[in-house]
């Protein structure tokens, strides 16, 4: 995207009718016209978008005719077109290609957007119309999707405080505005802390153990950061950096992990404590004992007790597994003269033990996982096998950054389905992690088809060299494409239900299911080929690699559970609890009380960079990954049973679940697929927790 800072008079110019957000895009699939969008277009578009929607909702509320589904609920669905367009593009840029100007506007606009949402949800006349319709809903003759929309809209207003008295609504508005500003600050702080925490070395020798391509990528990273002649390891958004498995220099491993674990604690620790307190106060206003209780009441889990019970059931066997693994690793470390296994040693010696036990060196497998081949002959190939999809790259369509590539997606019958944008490489302007965004959501009501984005953070290779992936990066590519499929397959009337508009503890389910294709023999054999010779990965190595996959489940489960329970502890506090003064001490106490404090296995995310729960909408919801994995483990088994072929199973999964978005109850969709409710057994077996 071409970006210009806003100068004198720019606002007036951008506010004119040439602002590309003021009307629908004329490009295919209403792809945003990125070649025309400039940074100074955002603010006027937000201002007009909010004003337009408030005028639209005010007209709905003031309608002298009795409320009907069309003049109230459908009218709400149609409202806010300009705001919808600018929000999708702006927040995609804020995460994918941010600038100081974008961050400044995020800080200013986020509280205004929170106030805007409150102005709609707390409009008494508007809610009265919805309430009237909700009371009479079963006599309105609505089809199932329309009835569900009315019910979900009504629930959203109630949960947003529509039934509060004037004093309660005033305080709620204050809290929401403050939380929105704090969330934007948390994002900025995390980005800055991750950049500042990057580890630079002056000699390639210090990176002994890393594959040659990774060393070259570190040099390229240094060059991009203005540190020519050095090698820079930028921090990824999770705790245990991938390089820890390979670096032979123990002091560098310690330095890298320390930089990862300490980032953001000074700025985001106090901010997280404040946000947790505000969320607890808001929950109490809305009639819930804790923020966790408030969140889960509208998820598939239903109650905080159900989540606590599930997480608690997993802790003891996970810790026992991790302790058994630690004994193996300590013995390997002792052979190198290390008296005590530290957190920065775990990944390194786990890799050693895995190599000795299973004769698999995962670092040596990178040449078989070249990005372009994994994408086309793995991810896209699997989508063809299961769903009949095909993909054509569209270099004539401009995305928001030169790294971002546009693909047109075609259905099995050759009809056009939507656009997929792949933005795979790390850069200084992109936040860490991996995620999916929707630039345009599918809706029959609005006549729109899906435009979805996958973002990853794969290091840029040296010029002329291929991007070679780790096994975890291969998994991430398949995982995020599962989210993309959820958006691409959406087939609903109303935009509120499109694609991934499902409960938070369900949204990870389709993406986790899509991971299964990475190890399916016919898929793996198609993409796991040496990038130079084209030689396939030896089937014997594949078998050993799959066996090695099960090794380390103790570490992975404890790492995940520690983060989930840390999120749960922050958001299980009540409004009466005192403000946390020391986030680091709170972390240690919370993990100890949960029985998950394993010194050598830090949480996958610590408070200082836990974007999921303090800025990305997963507050009291990080448990969703393992809650969804219960469904995932069941579905993977289902794909291989029943005498159906892969294509038939894929079509059923698409029709009965992926295409439904939020238009049906999520667990009803699961029962439609499985023929019964989910059971936890397959998950326990997968993770070795029986």
Q: Which residues are catalytic?
A: 480
Please name every residue paired with 370 in a beta bridge, in sequence order, or none if there are none: 468
Length of the chain: 690
Backbone angles phi, psi at 417, to 5 degrees: -105, -45
C-alpha angle 378/454/259, rounded to 5°?
Answer: 105
Q: In whole angstroms, what is the distance from residue 151 CA to residue 135 CA?
A: 10
Q: How far apart are the first and last CA of the chain?
A: 51
DSSP structure string for 336-389: TT-SS--HHHHHHHHHHHHHHHH---GGGGGGG-BHHHIIIIIIIHHHHHHH--
Taking alpha carbons only, the member of 183, 269, 231 closest to residue 586 is: 269
Taking alpha carbons only, the member of 361, 368, 417 closest to residue 388 is: 417
Backbone angles phi, psi at 429, to 5 degrees: -85, 0
Taking alpha carbons only, the member of 603, 629, 414, 639 closest to residue 517 is: 639
Taking alpha carbons only, the member of 113, 130, 114, 141 closest to residue 75 is: 130
Helix (H) or strand (E) holding 255: helix 250-262
Structure tokens, 234: 């930028």
Backbone angles phi, psi at 676, to 5 degrees: -170, 175
Burial string for 1-10 (b: 16+ CB within 10 Å, else e) reads bebeebeeeb
Q: In whole angstroms, what is the distance from residue 523 CA to residue 477 CA?
A: 14
DSSP structure string for 639-670: HT-TT--HHHHHHHHHHHTGGGTTSS-HHHHH
Taking alpha carbons only, the member of 432, 513, 425 closest to residue 469 is: 425
C-alpha angle 560/622/245, rounded to 5°?
Answer: 30
Lookup result for tokens 């403050």:
178
- What is the sign of the dihedral through the CA atoms of 221, 222, 226 and 228? negative
3-state helix, strand, coil in the chain (%, to 5): 60, 5, 35
Q: How many CB atoms lie within 10 A of CB 526?
A: 18
DSSP structure string for 13-70: HHTSTT-TTSS---SGGG---TTT--GGGHHHHHHHHHHHHHHHHHHHHH-SSPP-II
Judge contact between 496 and 447, C-beta under 8 A.
no
- What is the sign of the dihedral through the CA atoms of 141, 146, 152 and 156? negative
């Amino acid at each position: 995207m071409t970006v210009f800072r806003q100068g004198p008079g720019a606002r007036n110019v951008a506010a004119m009718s040439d602002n590309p957000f003021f009307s629908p895009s004329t490009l295919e699939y209403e792809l945003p016209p990125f070649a025309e969008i400039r940074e100074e277009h955002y603010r006027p578009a937000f201002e007009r978008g909010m004003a337009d929607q408030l005028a639209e909702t005010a007209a709905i509320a003031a309608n002298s005719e009795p409320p009907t589904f069309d003049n109230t609920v459908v009218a709400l669905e149609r409202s806010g077109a300009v705001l919808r367009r600018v929000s999708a593009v702006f927040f995609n840029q804020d995460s994918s290609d941010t600038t100081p100007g974008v961050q400044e506007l995020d800080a200013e606009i986020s509280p205004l957007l929170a106030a805007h949402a409150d102005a709609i949800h707390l409009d008494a006349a508007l809610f009265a119309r919805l309430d009237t319709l909700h009371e009479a809903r079963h006599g309105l003759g609505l089809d199932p999707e329309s009835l569900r929309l009315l019910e979900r809209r009504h629930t959203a207003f109630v949960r947003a405080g529509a039934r509060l008295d004037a004093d309660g609504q005033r305080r709620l508005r204050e809290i929401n505005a403050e939380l929105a500003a704090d969330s934007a600050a948390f994002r900025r702080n995390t980005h800055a802390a991750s950049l500042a925490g990057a580890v630079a070395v002056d000699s390639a020798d210090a990176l002994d153990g890393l594959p040659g391509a990774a060393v070259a990528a570190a040099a390229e990273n240094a060059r991009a950061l203005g540190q020519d002649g050095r090698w820079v390891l930028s921090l990824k958004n999770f705790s245990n950096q991938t390089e820890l498995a390979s670096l032979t220099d123990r002091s560098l491993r310690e330095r890298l992990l320390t930089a990862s674990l300490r980032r953001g604690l000074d700025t985001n620790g106090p901010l997280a404590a404040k946000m947790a307190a505000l969320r607890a106060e808001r929950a109490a206003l809305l009639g819930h004992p804790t923020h966790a209780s408030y969140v889960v009441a509208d998820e598939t889990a239903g109650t905080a007790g159900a989540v606590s019970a599930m997480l608690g059931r997993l802790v003891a066997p996970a810790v026992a597994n991790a302790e058994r693994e630690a004994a193996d690793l300590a013995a390997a470390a002792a052979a190198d003269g290390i008296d005590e296994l530290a957190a920065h040693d775990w990944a390194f010696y786990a890799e050693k033990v895995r190599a000795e036990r299973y004769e698999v060196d995962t670092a040596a497998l990178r040449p078989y996982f070249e990005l372009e081949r994994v994408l086309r002959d793995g991810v896209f190939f699997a989508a063809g096998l299961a769903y009949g999809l095909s993909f054509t790259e569209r270099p004539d369509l401009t995305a928001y950054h030169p790294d971002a590539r546009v693909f047109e997606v075609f259905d099995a019958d050759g009809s056009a389905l939507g656009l997929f944008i792949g933005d795979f490489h790390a850069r200084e302007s992109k936040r860490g992690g991996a995620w999916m965004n929707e630039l345009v959501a599918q809706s029959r009501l609005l006549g729109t088809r899906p435009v979805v984005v996958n973002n990853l953070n794969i290091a840029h290779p040296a010029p002329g060299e291929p991007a070679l992936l780790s096994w975890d990066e291969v998994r991430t590519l398949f995982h995020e494409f599962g989210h993309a499929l959820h958006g691409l397959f959406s087939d609903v009337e109303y935009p509120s239900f499109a694609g991934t508009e499902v409960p938070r503890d369900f949204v990870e389910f389709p993406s986790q299911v899509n991971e299964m294709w990475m190890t399916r023999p016919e898929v793996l054999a198609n993409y796991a080929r040496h990038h130079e010779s084209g030689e396939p990965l030896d089937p014997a190595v594949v078998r050993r690699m799959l066996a090695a996959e099960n090794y380390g489940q103790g570490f992975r489960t404890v790492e995940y559970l520690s983060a989930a329970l840390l999120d749960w502890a922050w958001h299980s506090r009540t409004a009466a609890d005192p403000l946390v003064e020391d986030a680091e001490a709170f972390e240690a106490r919370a993990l100890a009380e949960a029985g998950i404090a394993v010194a050598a296995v830090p949480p996958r995310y610590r408070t200082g960079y836990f974007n999921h729960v303090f800025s990305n909408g997963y507050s009291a919801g990080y448990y969703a990954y393992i809650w969804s994995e219960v469904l995932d483990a069941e579905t993977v088994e289902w794909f291989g049973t029943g005498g159906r072929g892969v294509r038939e199973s894929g079509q059923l999964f698409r029709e009965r679940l992926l295409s439904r978005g939020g238009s049906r109850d999520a667990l009803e969709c699961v029962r439609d697929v499985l023929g019964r409710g989910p059971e936890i057994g397959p998950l326990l077996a997968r993770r070795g927790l029986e």
